[in-house]
């Protein structure tokens, strides 16, 4: 198995302070990727002949990095997706998107007042920036970048989801991606709309959204809304790897940073887990180390416990953190909201 997809975090800093952000539960320093580390990584990518797709994003805002535009130039031969809050998309940056980027995913979690409440900035700015990008695409007769809109669904913004889809259609978006919120604080733990058992209300809502998307001519990507038996890790199945701004090599978004999350109301500490650092080793060596290969095989074949539907979960200490599970495996993936497809990433 070789690397086919790379998630690259140029910075874990951000120009916003959103209410629903992972960084709310952080107690760590923030990093910009060093120029020499970035150069070393890019030079090594020739060793990964199966690598076709790179997602520039992570926990921070990639356009906030001073290396962002140069990175696009250096990675122009790959399929590039950029995940962004859209606030810094001036004309110069938009022209870079058109020249180098295949997909840009922009977060819009509500209309004007709700968006301001969640993101702390003006939706008018985002609309202006997307319209500017569309005009430049017309000017240069460019189909790309495709524009995807991501909506993080919770109790706080469910009433506006149809209107945000309508706005996405008006903005000529290619896809409307819905993901569920991951609560990072106790005050938000009850804002989730996904459930452990039958969830008729959200099932009905998603059916209506699917029909509405067809009428609007926009693609839609929906998360799970109730616990299903199937588990799958898209990071493992897509042969993906996550490179943190610090240079650490993590298997996925979830293990890229220490944080606190609430899983179906239960507080859980997520411990950052990495297999090495590209500043002191090569990505190829790290990817091929026995521990990393063993981890990928274990997750691919579901050889780990399922905590969310375990009858003992309410009295189990293993679910308090990701140090180890009841099979003595580390890191523990049994409570992963991504594997149950409650959470979606580009």
pLDDT value at 22 more than 80: no
In a domain, 314, yes or no: no
Report pLDDT for 346: 86
Domains in the chain, number: 1
pLDDT tens readout for residues 242-253? 999 999 999 999
- Four-CA torsion 287, 339, 38, 95, nearest 10 degrees: 140
Residue 221, SS3 per DSSP: strand
Of the pLDDT bands very low, low, confident and very high (cuts 50, 70, 90), residue 164 is: very high
Round to whole Å and give the CA distance between 269 and 223. Answer: 23
Note down the domain range covering 84.
5-301
Q: What is the separation of C-alpha 150 from the centre of its chain, rounded to a whole number of angstroms?
A: 10
pLDDT value at 213 more than 90: yes
In a domain, 260, yes or no: yes
pLDDT value at 26 more than 90: no
Report pLDDT for 332: 98
The alpha helices in 51-122, defined as continuous H runs, are: 68-74, 91-100, 112-119
The better pLDDT of the pair 186, 84 is held by 84
In a domain, 311, yes or no: no
Strand 248-250's sheet: what is its strand order? 219-221, 175-180, 146-153, 103-107, 79-84, 53-56, 5-8, 240-243, 248-250, 276-277
Q: Span 56-77, mean pLDDT?
A: 96
In a domain, 288, yes or no: yes
Q: What's the maximum distance between 2 C-alpha atoms anywhere in the chain?
A: 61
In a domain, 34, yes or no: yes
> Strand 103-107 vs strand 79-84: parallel, antiparallel, or unpaired?
parallel
If you search the block for the tokens 């839609």, which residue do you land on?
A: 220
Decide if 146 contacts 168 (C-beta within 8 A).
Answer: no
In a domain, 145, yes or no: yes
The enclosing H or E element of 54 equals strand 53-56
In a domain, 275, yes or no: yes
Which has the minimum average pLDDT: 110-114, 126-130, 185-189, 294-298? 185-189
What percentage of the chain exceeds 70 in pLDDT?
100
The token pair that represents 323 in the structure block:
């140090």
User: Is the pTM above the cut of 0.85?
Assistant: yes
pLDDT value at 128 more than 80: yes
Report pLDDT for 340: 97
In a domain, 67, yes or no: yes
Q: Span 67-89, mean pLDDT?
A: 97
Mean pLDDT of the chain: 96
Report pLDDT for 21: 83
Q: Which CATH number fits the domain that encloses residue 215?
A: 3.20.20.70
């Amino acid at each position: 198995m070789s690397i086919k997809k790379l998630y690259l975090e140029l910075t874990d800093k951000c120009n916003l302070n959103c209410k629903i952000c992972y960084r709310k539960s952080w107690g760590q320093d923030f990093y910009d990727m060093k120029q020499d580390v970035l150069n070393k990584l890019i030079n090594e990518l020739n060793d990964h002949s199966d690598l076709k797709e790179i997602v520039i994003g992570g926990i921070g805002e990639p356009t906030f990095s001073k290396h962002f535009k140069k990175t696009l130039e250096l990675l122009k031969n790959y399929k590039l997706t950029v995940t962004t809050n859209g606030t810094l998309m001036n004309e110069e940056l938009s022209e870079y998107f058109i020249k180098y980027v295949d997909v840009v995913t922009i977060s819009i979690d509500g209309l004007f007042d709700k968006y301001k409440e969640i993101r702390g900035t003006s939706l008018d700015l985002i609309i202006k920036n997307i319209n500017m990008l569309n005009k430049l695409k017309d000017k240069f007769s460019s189909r790309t970048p495709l524009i995807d809109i991501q909506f993080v669904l919770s109790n706080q913004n469910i009433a506006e989801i149809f209107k945000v889809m309508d706005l996405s259609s008006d903005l000529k978006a290619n896809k409307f991606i819905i993901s569920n919120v991951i609560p990072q604080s106790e005050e938000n733990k009850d804002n989730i709309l996904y459930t452990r058992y039958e969830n008729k209300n959200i099932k009905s809502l998603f059916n209506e959204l699917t029909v509405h998307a067809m009428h609007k001519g926009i693609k839609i990507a929906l998360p799970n809304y109730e616990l299903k038996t199937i588990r799958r890790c898209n990071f493992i199945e897509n042969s993906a790897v996550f490179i943190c701004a610090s240079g650490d090599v993590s298997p996925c978004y979830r293990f890229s940073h220490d944080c606190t999350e609430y899983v179906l109301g239960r507080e859980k500490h997520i411990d950052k887990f990495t297999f090495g650092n590209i500043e002191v080793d090569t990505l190829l060596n790290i990817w091929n180390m026995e521990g990393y290969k063993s981890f990928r095989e274990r997750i691919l074949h579901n050889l780990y416990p399922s905590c969310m539907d375990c009858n003992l979960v309410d009295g189990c200490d293993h679910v308090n953190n990701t140090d180890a599970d009841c099979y003595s495996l580390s890191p523990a993936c049994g409570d992963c909201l991504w594997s149950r497809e409650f959470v979606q990433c580009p």
